Amino acid sequence: MKTRAVHSAMILVLVAAAAAAASAVAAEDPLAAAIASPTRTAKNVTRDVYRHPLETLRFFGLRPEQTVVEIWPGRGWYMEILAPYLHDRGKYFAAIEAPGASTEAREDAAFLRKRIADDPAHYGKVIVSELQPPQLTEICPPGTADVVLTFRNVHNWIDAGDQQAQFEVFFKALKPGGVLGVVEHRAKPGTSLEETRKSGYVDEAYVKKLATTAGFRFDAEAPINNNPKDTKDYPQGVWTLPPTLTLGDKDRDKYLAIGESDRMTLRFVKPGK
């Protein structure tokens, strides 16, 4: 009986030590802790190998006390990281696509709002705004955001024809000196807008032009999300690749071996600071 009691006590000590170590790691690197959190959806975690959230968010200069706006967060892949990370000291705005825009937008909005409602401990401070130029353009109080982030959305705006208006919204939202971070499927140089609408791949030079036309200064780019295996010449465009795999089982192993798309990772700054 005594041996069992000692054994139980040792387990409690080890658990306490592990918890203390985890707390120390979180204090030292809260972003890494948010990404490693067991509260993240397992299916989403498997995509870290393609999306490199730690390196990407570090490149964009995130800090836990900032006001961050994520544009069209879909079903919350990055929200799972950003909302807990910013929970105590910062602010996280989820600027969703207006639910009336499409069936997909309505379903994504309902899914995201339910996730927020179901887990107030992690998402209770999320501020949901709606973005659909020209009607809905206030994604946060103007001039208050430290960082605006958009992940794989530019091709959608090109398809809708409001891509320049979107970048102007981001400029208005940011403080002087604020950062716009853009990740997007990268096309072969010179790809036309017509081809982008079919393939989902966007010319990097065109994205830079959209941002600088809105008033941003191009600051830096990173190879974090590059994928040299992506040949960008598939029957169903970028959606041929994972995670969509539009062709289903046809050549599935081939496309899984390529992985997710080759992506530009660009940082822009709003001048004035």
Tens-digit pLDDT profile for residues 82-96: 999 999 999 999 999
Using a CB cutoff of 8 Å and minimum separation of 24, what contacts does 191-195 make?
193/158
Query: In this structure, are 65 and 178 located in the same domain?
Result: yes
Query: In this structure, are 90 and 6 located in the same domain?
Result: no
The pLDDT score that the predictor gives to residue 100 is: 87
Tens of pLDDT, residue by residue over 131-175, are 999 999 999 999 999 999 999 999 999 999 999 999 999 999 999
Name the DSSP class of 142.
T
> What are the residue ranges in the chain where pLDDT is below 50?
1-3, 5-24
Query: In this structure, are 12 and 131 located in the same domain?
Result: no
**186 CB burial (10 A radius; 0-12, 13-18, 19+):** buried
The tally of domains found in the chain comes to: 2
- Residue 38: count of CB within 10 angstroms of its CB: 6
Query: In this structure, are 11 and 104 located in the same domain?
Result: no
- Domain around 66: 37-269
Beta pairing partners, 263 = 185
Query: In this structure, are 9 and 119 located in the same domain?
Result: no
Query: In this structure, are 173 and 239 located in the same domain?
Result: yes
The pLDDT score that the predictor gives to residue 21 is: 38
Query: In this structure, are 46 and 174 located in the same domain?
Result: yes
Query: In this structure, are 69 and 194 located in the same domain?
Result: yes
The pLDDT score that the predictor gives to residue 13 is: 41
Query: In this structure, are 7 and 104 located in the same domain?
Result: no
Query: In this structure, are 21 and 92 located in the same domain?
Result: no
Q: Comparing C-alpha atoms, which of 172, 76, 61 is closest to residue 126?
A: 76
Query: In this structure, are 77 and 131 located in the same domain?
Result: yes
